[in-house]
Amino acid sequence: MLTEEKNINVEEQVVAYCKDNIINQDIKHPLYPARLGAYELFRAHGLPTTRNEQWKYTNISSKLERIPSQSDVKPVPVNLDNFINNFEIVKKAKENKDSVLVFMDGAMQSQLSIVNTDTKTVSVTSLKKDPIPDWAVKLNSEKHSQNVNEMFNLNTALMEDGAIININNNKGIADNIYIIHVGNNDGFYNYRHMINVQNGAHVNIIEFKISNKVDIEALYTSSIIWQIGNNCVVNNVKYQAHNQITIGFNQQYADIANDTEFNSFTISSGSKLLREFRDINCNGSNSNISISGINLLDGDSHIDTMLSVKHKAPNTISREKYKSILNDNSKGVFQGNIIVDDIAQKTIAKQSIDALILSKNAEHDAKPELEIYADDVQCGHGATTGQISQDSLFYLKSRGIPEEEAKRLLVHAFLTDALEEIKDKKILETFADVMNNMLNRVSKGNLNV
């Protein structure tokens, strides 16, 4: 079979790439044991196939044909500085003295980044700098030792750079940290952020991932590992707009202690293939989390979200609300697991996955799964797939609203309750323009079904 052959080819390429990478690593580096272990695991299992239940609807080999060849020199282009500074959001962030961390092709750009040192509550280093803080080494090896996720292992074996962020504030005033990642050159990039939110800290972390040009062929793996303490408020919004040839595998792990609020919202658009893996653990009681998002897919984009929320202590609340809009030949996949341990009494867990399909050939598969071992819980899930209602469209048009604007209103209406999961009103405002642009694109697209 042709696809099998392809898979074996690209898999061999990836294994060889890992091997070269491992040989070049310093064996005394504190992350080396994790790297080596991850490499061995990856070599043993290879790339996941659709036989793996977690990859049932996503065939990597049909999307990933090769490792994109990398240009030897990767200079920071003169225009990148301009590009970043032209970002309205970055301008505002700088004015507000927020921290802005800039990455290009997986590598931190210290000369373009600013860390607010005034408050002494945020400290940032990178994976490339020595010494790696002890907590980061520990977190890394913990996650690695329990891990069976192939793409995470690949990321561990290959990770080159990433932000290591420690937040230690306790006055109830949130630190704002922007992480901006620009894809600027063809190639294979691997990075990992680790974020330690100490007891009582409030933080907003806003990530942007964008392709600078439409023809950059990037393959990447990225991971974020969150360690969140007691009594924290963490708002995380990630906006990723890749071009149509980027392939990305994102892993997010979060461990959440007691009495903490964690809201993580993802807006994704574009990509040839994008995998969003999330593993969220409510380890302490009385925490309240929302893992939600919006996917906007067109062309041949394929976005696969694999979400697992584990309630491991009593009295925790989780909400997952995802809305997808699919056009052209795009495909969306959502697998959402909610696991409630036997001690996690009084858990409230709600999941809703809705898709709005705008074309004949777009497809959305949603598979919710509940594993509940406690008896006193409220858990529910629902999934819908629908189209724009012609009656609604006619009603709006009959009031003079042109078709494009009417569709925009209806698409926005569909997204509204998901957007409400962005709990920080300032962040929501920040995203108003971004959302508007996105909606313009959707309503201007060839939506004529």
CA distances from 320 to 159, 207, 232, 259, 348 (A): 29, 19, 20, 19, 11
Q: How far apart are CA 116 and CA 123, in angstroms?
A: 9
Choose, by CB under 8 A, the member of 20, 95, 134, 391 that binds another protein: 391
Choose, by CB under 8 A, the member of 406, 422, 435, 439 that binds another protein: 406
Pick between residue 405 and residue 429 the one whose CB is nearest to another protein. Answer: 405
Query: What tokens were used for 337?
Result: 């697991």
Choose, by CB under 8 A, the member of 4, 53, 342, 417 that binds another protein: 417
Choose, by CB under 8 A, the member of 5, 53, 342, 403 that binds another protein: 403
Choose, by CB under 8 A, the member of 80, 392, 423, 428 that binds another protein: 392
Task: Return the DSSP state at 147.
Answer: -
**Quick check: 428 binds another protein (CB under 8 A)?**
no
Choose, by CB under 8 A, the member of 86, 402, 436, 449 that binds another protein: 402
Query: What tokens were used for 254?
Result: 């979060």
Choose, by CB under 8 A, the member of 240, 414, 424, 445 that binds another protein: 414
Residue among 150, 156, 192, 191 at smallest CA distance from 54: 150
**Quick check: 32 binds another protein (CB under 8 A)?**
no
Q: Is 19 left (phi over 0), alpha (psi -120 to 50) or beta?
A: alpha
Shortest separation between residue 405's beta carbon and another protein, angstroms: 6
Shortest separation between residue 391's beta carbon and another protein, angstroms: 5
Residues 135-171 as b/e (b if ≥16 CB within 10 A, e otherwise) read: ebbebbbebbeebebbbbbbbbbbbbbbbbbbbbbee
Stretch that binds another protein, among 64-72, 181-189, 354-362, 404-412 (CB under 8 A): 404-412
Chain position carrying tokens 């020595």: 130
List, in sequence order, every beta strand (DSSP E) within 214-283: 218-228, 233-241, 247-256, 261-269, 273-282
Q: Contacts with another protein: how many residues (CB under 8 A)?
A: 24
Q: How far apart are CA 200 and CA 332, in angstroms?
A: 37
Stretch that binds another protein, among 131-139, 267-275, 411-419, 428-436 (CB under 8 A): 411-419
Question: For residue 410, how many other CB atoms are within 10 A of its CB?
Answer: 17
**Quick check: 387 binds another protein (CB under 8 A)?**
no
**Quick check: 405 binds another protein (CB under 8 A)?**
yes
**Quick check: 396 binds another protein (CB under 8 A)?**
yes
Stretch that binds another protein, among 92-100, 279-287, 292-300, 386-394 (CB under 8 A): 386-394
Question: For residue 425, how many other CB atoms are within 10 A of its CB?
Answer: 8
**Quick check: 297 binds another protein (CB under 8 A)?**
no
Stretch that binds another protein, among 182-190, 336-344, 362-370, 408-416 (CB under 8 A): 408-416
Residues of the shown chain interacting with another protein in the complex, contacts defined by CB under 8 A: 389-392, 394-403, 405-406, 409-410, 412-417
